[in-house]
Chains A and B, each alone.
Chain A
Amino acid sequence: MIDSVETLNKRVEALRRESLAATRILVSMGTCGIAAGAAPVLAELRRLLAERGLENTVEIVETGCIGQCYAEPSVEILNPESNSGITYGKVKVSEVSMIIDHLADVVPGLETVNKTWYYPEDEANADNRLQARIVLRNSGRIDPEKLEDYLKNRGYQALAKVLTGMSPAEVVKEITESGLRGRGGGGFPTGMKWSFAAAQPAGRKYIVCNADEGDPGAFMDRAVLEGDPHSVLEAMIIGGYAIGADTGIVYIRAEYPLAVKRLKIAIRQAEENGLLGKNIFGSGFNFKIELKYGAGAFVCGEETALIHSIEGKRGEPTFKPPFPAVSGLWGCPTVVNNVETYANVPAVIRRGAAWFRTIGTEKSPGTKVFALAGKVENVGLVEVPMGTALRDIIFNLGGGIRDGKQFKAVQTGGPSGGCLKADRLDTRIDYDTLTALGSMMGSGGMIVMDEDDCMVNIAKFFLEFTLDESCGKCTPCRIGNTRLHEMLDRICTGRATGDTINKLRNLAYAVKDTSLCGLGQTSPNPVLSTLANFEEEYEAHIRDKKCPAGVCTKLITYLINDNCVGCTLCARNCPVSCISGERKQKHVIDQDRCIKCGVCYQACKFHAIDRI
């Protein structure tokens, strides 16, 4: 039971003394690690350590996501005394015994992964590393299912500081001064949100954590919940104290079973240790946290829709004002913040607003986690100070474009964001620079595209998503997006006429200006930004009936040229058997039966298939 700062400190000291293991082996057991095969590696590690009698000197830690998804399964050998280590990537079960043989040095021949980050709370950035980890400070370093690991890493120190030495108004002031902005999309100042709710008359209030990460291609919230759930709980308790709420609700996606499991464990541990419940740290402050499950609706990321969903209704947004901070869940003042926002709060409280402002840009202090995916070498999570150049993220941390292809565009902000092309690579990104360029920060998805991606098709893809997810309440979003999608479909299938681009642009602005909530107001962004940057590609589709990237199947034809030596490889690979020809004779594609899958194009070793 931790009922005072003294017991907390004693507990931490005792824990530090207890950790005797000479070596710690960290295995990344987040969803991506497990999907890549971390479980058999872990089992082999355990088996071999037991076999060699090393269980007591070597401690295995199952951590959450370390962010380097491209290198999963990853195994880190850490020397707790020097806090330095070696990380192996893409570890195979057969390599585990070599790793155990060489606990102190690097196994020759195995792939190692360099750390590209530092921890601003612990250390200065001596060697100019690009990443600064505040949100992901514990992900991949601690066992998320052990409260003790969190406590050893300054866990609940911020809560202790707040409950024993700060008034609620001081907490709100600290967060306001830090300049922390909502990491879920809009970038609304967190401190201001809290101050609105705090200013409401005392009574029932709620702190809600939006963990319904719906942006396809963004998974930082999942990484935090799987890797460091206690930090979110700690921040919610601090928020509750600041605004005068006694109940917190985490609204989480049902599609994240591992995050749900770890969050449940964390809540139980916090309750058992008196960190949740009555009279926390002897301060007289009571707080409880409940879980509510989402059920697959992107629009529930909008705070009024999310609140309706918690109330058991269809997740349809309502007009603001009244803002949730005034009238939210069950009509009570409610603060809704996203997971990543909360994960910043304990660090801000511990080190102070002035420290937080030293990182990032003046108007967007701190860091942002990006989910870097698509056509880059190093897919994963990166956490960089606001104001980092796109080029550094994509080419330095991301390792550049896969297969030596040409960079074409980067899409930020998910279905609400836009595409930026190569001439914007030196943009130092924060909330305001991205908005100025017609994109947005969004939740931090960053999808890199190369020469093989058709921008019209990408715009259509995002519109398809919006169509699926539009709740249908307001007309511009329900019908406007449907018409936009139809126009894009006509363009992609070669049925568009000359003035389609103008119609598309006008309607896109109309949807943007007149929709009820953030979903509709931003849904035309992918169309508008691809139009602004790649209008010539739209024109090629409309005027020439050609898809320059060779993606839109209705606009491409596969033909076999005279390079064909009759090896029959294409015919054997064709899934619909529409290629015919004698062995050692030129083959022919039956255009009526061809499904334009491109398998033959990829299979041919003689450049004998043209895609036109």
Chain B
Amino acid sequence: MSCGDCPDGRKFDLIKEFPEKTKQLNDFIDALDIGPDRNRNRGFLIESLHEAQHIFGYLPRSVQQFVADKLHLYLSEVYGVISFYSYFTDRPVGKYKISVCTGTACFVRGANAVLEEFKRLLVLENGETTPDRKFSLASLRCVGACSLAPVVMVNDQVYGKVTAKMVADIINECK
């Protein structure tokens, strides 16, 4: 499990480091109908984690522990959920989150060549982030814009009908 390590090896605790963000998450969870029944509280876990990831960008151990404490759950239960669902990540993501759609429609129209080109140019494997935390590369399954296949998303921006040739331009646009 990653602990929110910095690239330079320095360890820090996001919860202590960013009191404002922590307060935001704290207020969100306090507004939920949390009771003494642990089992019932679990029902709020996924939405709490969505909010936490929205606030902090990722879910390192310190944030997981915070959510676990607030919902009276064990850290293992929280980590079990985070590791199961692909939407949650316990590693920091880059400023530019590049997602190559590898749904079926994009696949048959050549998404693999696009993904390979991103890997080659960014020197990243699928699911990794550059050391300067500028770019993250991931594949995702279907954004539902199949008429524009193959599709690449950079944060919220959608690029349609992408070819391997366009990849360098897309990366340059981010810089």
Residues of A participating in the B interface, judged by any CB pair closer than 8 Å: 31-32, 35-36, 69-70, 72, 214-219, 222, 254-256, 292-298, 309-315, 330, 371, 373-375, 379-380, 411, 414, 445, 447, 449, 453, 458, 461-462, 465, 468, 471, 573, 575, 595, 597-599
Contacts and interface: CB of A to CB of B under 8 A. Distances in A.
B80 interface: yes
Contact of B148 (A32, A217, A296): A32
A216 B104 contact: yes
27 contacts: A31-B144, A32-B147, A32-B148, A35-B148, A35-B158, A36-B145, A36-B147, A70-B147, A72-B147, A214-B141, A216-B141, A217-B105, A219-B144, A295-B50, A297-B84, A298-B141, A311-B43, A312-B81, A315-B85, A374-B104, A374-B108, A414-B104, A447-B104, A447-B108, A465-B141, A573-B165, A595-B120
A312 B108 contact: no
- List 3 tightest A-B contacts by C-beta distance, closest first: A216-B103, A312-B42, A219-B144
A308 to B, nearest CB: 10
B75 interface: no
A468 to B, nearest CB: 8
Q: Which of B81, B102, B108, B116 has its CB near the most chain A CB atoms (within 10 A)?
A: B108
B95 interface: no
Contacts of A453: 108
Contact of A379 (B45, B103, B147): B147
B142 A217 contact: yes
A449 B81 contact: no
Interface string B69-96: 0000000000011001111100000000
Contacts of A294: 85, 87
Contacts of B148: 32, 35-36
Contacts of A380: 147
Contact of A373 (B41, B117, B146, B165): B146
Given A311-B42, A312-B45, A69 B145 contact: yes
A296 B151 CA distance: 18
Nearest to A72: B147
Given A254-B87, A597-B113, A222 B46 contact: no
Contacts of A309: 46
A550 B139 CA distance: 24
B66 interface: no
B44 A461 contact: no
A217 B103 contact: yes
B145 A297 contact: no
B144 A32 contact: yes
Contact of B143 (A31, A313, A371): A31
Contacts of A313: 42, 80-81
Interface in B98-132: 102-105, 107-109, 113, 116-117, 120
B137 to A, nearest CB: 16
Interface of B: 39-47, 49-50, 80-81, 84-88, 102-105, 107-109, 113, 116-117, 120, 140-149, 151, 158, 160, 164-165
B108 A449 contact: yes
Contacts of A31: 143-145
Contacts of B143: 31, 35, 255
Contacts of A217: 103-105, 142, 146
A580 to B, nearest CB: 20
B82 to A, nearest CB: 9
Nearest to A449: B108
Contacts of B109: 374-375
A537 B77 CA distance: 47
A254 to B, nearest CB: 6
Contact of A295 (B40, B86, B102): B86
A373 B109 CA distance: 10
A22 B138 CA distance: 48
Contacts of A69: 145-147
B141 A373 contact: no
A215 B108 CA distance: 15
Contacts of B81: 295, 312-314
Contacts of B146: 32, 69, 217, 219, 371, 373, 379
Contacts of B144: 31-32, 219, 222, 256
Given A216-B142, A295-B46, A295-B49, A471 B84 contact: yes
A542 B42 CA distance: 50
Contacts of B49: 295
A375 B108 contact: yes
B59 to A, nearest CB: 11
B97 to A, nearest CB: 13
A375 B147 CA distance: 10
Contacts of B103: 216-217
